[in-house]
Amino acid sequence: MGQLEDMQVFTRVVEAGGISRAAEQMGLAKSAVSRRLSELEARLGVRLINRTTRTSNLTETGRGFYERALKIIDDIAELNALTNDVNSSLAGTINLAVPLSFGLLHLAPAIDAFIKLHPELTINIDFSDRHKNLIEEGLDLAVRIADLKDSSLIARKLSPVKTLLCASPDYLKKQGRPESHEDLKQHQLLQYNLANSSGWQLTDQQGTQHHITLAGKINANNGDFLKDMAIAGHGIAMIPTFITWKALAMGELVPLLPDYSTPQLNVYAVYPQTRYLSQRARLLIDFLVQRFGVNPYWDQPI
């Protein structure tokens, strides 16, 4: 390895929070990473990281070296991208984090199509509904479903996300169909418990917002599970249409309260501001924007 590779090892140790995690992310032995770090410090004649058996902390010199090393690494990556033929076959690895349901339902076929266009690519995917620290986890980008009004990440919108209140015909036959937000107090409500709220926000046609408190008997952190519980007749759910679109089209679920609007979210591709985004990652984002767009296929039958 040369000095550039040593700098890449060093920055990964810093961002991963330690040698062991950095070694795991890079697919190297812990001893190899420790040796490269020690050799870099010996070459520079300074201590970059104070290491104990439990912690690793940047020295003042190490912090300055880290910031300059990041710029050098990104500048070289950008230079390499500029000199590559953009029409040549893509190669390399994309480390990607995606939400579970959206990833399995919609990103899986999209990535299948993208890989067929660029068969020399390797894509590592982390499925999780919890937001990952991209830098710490060594990820190139993430797909997130959120309202990103304020974020330290660079975000590109892939598609809008609509949510609907819905229930099964059997449930509505037994319990009655709600006609207003007040009627929801008499119903079983299925709760998505990863949301940062204890209830639903509904807005009527006059623009008045109504908060619906949830105390459901079924709470889950997965939209597919809640969809299945709603189809089985266990109550009313507020679920994104990218999960329920087929059930709605088949009549397994019925949309409710059409005169009320629900909060608008979007699907974003996000990546750190401090990182040069590789050509392969940029082309993947472009591909997803074109595939989903402002009127995604899952909303067209609704």
pLDDT of residue 104: 94
Q: Contact, 268 vs 146, CB < 8 A?
A: yes
Whether residues 171 and 251 share a domain: the answer is yes
Element at 267 (helix H, strand E): strand 265-272
Q: What is the pLDDT of residues 202-244, one digit of tens each?
A: 999 999 999 988 877 788 889 999 999 999 999 999 999 999 9
pLDDT of residue 139: 87
- Number of separate domains in the chain: 3
Whether residues 58 and 129 share a domain: the answer is no
Whether residues 39 and 175 share a domain: the answer is no
pLDDT of residue 53: 61
Establish if 126 belongs to a structural domain.
yes
Establish if 261 belongs to a structural domain.
no
Tell me the CATH number at 71.
1.10.10.10
pLDDT of residue 54: 66
Classify residue 273 by burial, with Cβ atoms within 10 Å: 0-12, 13-18, 19+. Answer: exposed
Last residue within a domain, chosen from 55, 83, 111:
83
Whether residues 249 and 170 share a domain: the answer is yes
Whether residues 152 and 167 share a domain: the answer is no
pLDDT of residue 264: 85
Q: Contact, 7 vs 72, CB < 8 A?
A: yes
Establish if 233 belongs to a structural domain.
yes
Establish if 232 belongs to a structural domain.
yes
Whether residues 138 and 282 share a domain: the answer is yes
What is the C-alpha R_g of the chain?
24
pTM of the full structure:
0.72
Domain that holds residue 221: 163-256
Whether residues 13 and 61 share a domain: the answer is yes
Tell me the CATH number at 214.
3.40.190.10
Q: Contact, 16 vs 136, CB < 8 A?
A: yes
Whether residues 167 and 154 share a domain: the answer is no
Whether residues 289 and 172 share a domain: the answer is no
- Which residues of the chain fall below pLDDT 70? 1, 52-55, 77-78, 80-89, 149-152, 194-198, 274, 302
Whether residues 104 and 151 share a domain: the answer is yes
Last residue within a domain, chosen from 38, 56, 83:
83
Establish if 144 belongs to a structural domain.
yes
**Nearest in space to 166 (alpha carbons), one of 247, 277, 59:** 247
Whether residues 197 and 282 share a domain: the answer is no
Coil vs helix vs strand at 244: helix
Whether residues 272 and 155 share a domain: the answer is yes
pLDDT of residue 274: 67
Query: Parallel, antiparallel, or unpaired for β 141-146 and 92-98?
Result: parallel
